[in-house]
Amino acid sequence: MPKRNASEAANATKFEKGPSAKNARIQTKKMSEELLNGKNRLNEAKEDDVPVWCLKKAQEEQPSRQCPYLDTIDRGVLDFDFEKLCSVSLSHINVYACMVCGKYFQGRGTNTHAYTHSLDSDHRIYLNLGTLKFYCLPENYEVIDPSLDDIKYVLKPTYTPEQIKLIGRNVKMARAWNDTLYYPGIIGLNNIKANDYTNVVFHALSHVPPLRDYFLREQNYMHIKRPPGDKLTLMPQRFGELLRKLWNPKAFKAHVSPHEMLQAVVLCSDKKFQIIRQGDAHEFMMFFLNTLHIGLNGTGKTNSSIIYKIFRGRMRQCMRKVLPVDASDESRRTLAETEEYKEQTKEIPFLSLAMDLPPAPLYLDERLQNIIPQVPLSTLLMKFNGQTEKEYKTYKDNFLKKFELLHLPEYLIITYDRFHKNQWFIEKNPTIVNFPISNVDLYECLATDVREKHRYTTYDLISNIVHDGKPPTAVSKGDIAVDTGRYRVQLIHEGTGKWFELEDLHVKEILPQTITLTESYIQIWRLNRNKTRAERVGEAQEETFGTATTEEKLKEEPKREIDGTES
């Protein structure tokens, strides 16, 4: 008798009668139900692990344009500056922001923290921080409404090339959601603990137009590939996000918290620069610029990254070893002819020029007060004229060095060497540097063989970082935290020409004449390409002659009046 296959046996059991056939149908039904329940449990488990955007459930959702809970959104509590982590599980995957209380939660499935929060607090509207889509929970449908576009723009501002060209020339003040008036780019940065030394650097670099325009468009650096697991890729991404928020004309609040940027700094610097400990602004700026250069796949060439294109210059260093003092004249002449004591010349690149301040006086004045010396910037620039030699001491030998510039960068960073470390602590030099805020000529600092190649040699000041108080590590444990020293930055607004001073969240307008009265630490100067050096120097001479003639006229007028009364 031939055997029947499984399908024929199943069809036969449908038409068979009797208790055996009935039991077989019941068992088959139970097996199908168990299989169905197993598949459902498997799908539910997958929904907790797999992101929502790749689930069939999300693909089959019907978005709604009529949500009754849009009036529950509170824009005053929304703050997207913090790290995108779930407030319960601390996970950074599939994070949603509650539009009612501003907290971050993970997922939107039935077993997620966002779903639980919607049931517990009756908060219905949530924003996916990755896809920028709004959802209503626990109903779990997408909300589409044009009134929510301002929230998306605050979370992720975008700029067109036309907007970037005009963003620096803006002369109108923007109005935040809380009715605060501000200029885009001139807003405060939150000081979380002791990160004011990083805030001033972020502000100063954000007002360098080529650097700002480059990072305002994410397309300029989003396709740069780094080795897998390289943490330096975070620096350009976080800095771009920070700049886009600083220059946002549609912000809800007139300040930004650099929390994500600082987290990337702590990670990439291996905790050398921290949020809770004061640091050196110059050291941080050099670390930050070099890390950005590497994160943008920069090499040793000048045009390899936007950082080197803007800030990198070249100088010539002439160095010779100092002859021993106790040697005789004959031995000194013999040593001078050897290769060890001959002058050696080499070209070195630089990102900043360090100015040496004269030492502070040791004695007090007649009123028993400290004398604060003053020095003009032109005197400090003589270090780079190729003739002034300075002695540099090492643990073994002494060297005489002199410098001269070969290439002037588009934006020149000048630092004043205020902090000196002795055997016990770091001491600060309070010398005041007198400088003009425009038309600083570096023609005399150029080497004679490259002067003809540089038509533009004058610089204008665009930012000035000031340090007030004691050095960062010179304070003992018993001192008050206020006396540990703090940083502030003075910036020029390109559109209006006004100067502003920013210290953490405090922003105020200042007079340009007060800039030279501060203890400047770091300055950024812009090369003026509107007029050549000859034209700008001629204008300065005309202004000088003009003021002299007016003074002479004022002196002559009283004499004429006296002569007239006598006659």
Q: What is the CATH number of the domain that holds 71?
A: 3.30.40.10
Q: Report the distance separating Cα 266 and Cα 275, nearest Å.
A: 8
End-of-domain residue from the set 137, 153, 169 = 153
Residue 253's pLDDT is 92
Q: What residue spans of 247-355 are helical by DSSP H?
A: 259-268, 281-295, 306-311, 329-336
Please state whether 436 falls in left (phi above 0), alpha (psi between -120 and 50) or beta.
beta
Q: For residues 67 and 125, is the Cβ–Cβ distance under 8 A?
A: yes
Burial 257-294 (b: 16+ CB within 10 A, else e): bbbbbbebbbebbeeebbbeebbbbbebbbbbbebbbb
Residues 6+ apart with CB under 8 A from 499: 490, 491, 492, 493, 509, 510, 511, 512, 515
- Look at residue 282 and tell me if it is in a domain: no
Residue 289's pLDDT is 97
- Look at residue 94 and tell me if it is in a domain: yes
Do both 82 and 145 map to the same domain?
yes
Predicted TM-score of the model (pTM): 0.81
Residue 474's pLDDT is 45
For residue 95, the tally of other CB atoms under 10 A from its CB is 23
Do both 64 and 34 map to the same domain?
no
- Look at residue 551 and tell me if it is in a domain: no
Residue 341's pLDDT is 81
Do both 42 and 87 map to the same domain?
no
Do both 23 and 92 map to the same domain?
no
Do both 104 and 15 map to the same domain?
no
Q: Report the distance separating Cα 342 and Cα 104, nearest Å.
A: 66
Q: Specify which residues 354 forms β-bridges with.
A: 415
State how many domains the chain has: 2
Q: Please report which helix (H) or strand (E) contains residue 25, including its range.
A: helix 19-49
Amino acid at 277: R
Do both 43 and 111 map to the same domain?
no
- Look at residue 62 and tell me if it is in a domain: yes
Residue 20's pLDDT is 58
End-of-domain residue from the set 153, 184, 210 = 153
- Look at residue 208 and tell me if it is in a domain: no
Which two tokens mark 34? 């168990």
Do both 44 and 77 map to the same domain?
no
Torsion 548-551-557-562 (CA) sign = negative
- Look at residue 417 and tell me if it is in a domain: no
End-of-domain residue from the set 153, 186, 210 = 153
Do both 44 and 73 map to the same domain?
no
**Along the 567 residues of the chain, how does pLDDT read in single tens digits?**
444 554 444 444 444 445 555 565 666 666 666 655 655 554 544 444 444 444 444 444 566 678 899 999 999 999 999 889 999 999 999 999 999 999 999 998 889 999 999 999 999 999 999 999 999 999 999 999 999 999 999 999 999 999 999 998 889 999 998 889 999 999 999 999 899 999 999 999 999 999 999 999 999 998 888 888 888 999 999 999 999 999 999 999 999 999 999 999 999 999 999 998 889 999 999 999 999 999 999 998 988 999 999 999 999 999 988 887 777 777 777 777 787 788 889 999 999 999 999 987 777 666 656 678 899 999 999 999 999 888 888 777 888 999 999 999 999 999 999 988 877 778 888 999 999 999 999 999 999 999 989 999 999 999 999 999 887 654 433 333 334 689 999 999 999 999 999 999 999 999 999 999 999 999 999 999 988 877 877 766 555 444 444 344 434 444 433 343 332
Residue 123: domain span: 56-153
- Look at residue 27 and tell me if it is in a domain: yes
Do both 95 and 63 map to the same domain?
yes
Do both 115 and 148 map to the same domain?
yes
- Look at residue 508 and tell me if it is in a domain: no
Residue 390's pLDDT is 87
Residue 335's pLDDT is 78
Q: Report the distance separating Cα 271 and Cα 265, nearest Å.
A: 8
Instruction: Extract long-range pairs of 499-502: CB within 8 Å, 24+ residues apart.
Output: 500/183, 500/186, 502/186, 502/188, 502/189, 502/199, 502/200, 502/203
Do both 87 and 108 map to the same domain?
yes
Which two tokens mark 261? 């940027």
Which of 417, 418, 390 lies closest to 403, judged by CA? 390
Do both 10 and 61 map to the same domain?
no
Residue 483's pLDDT is 46
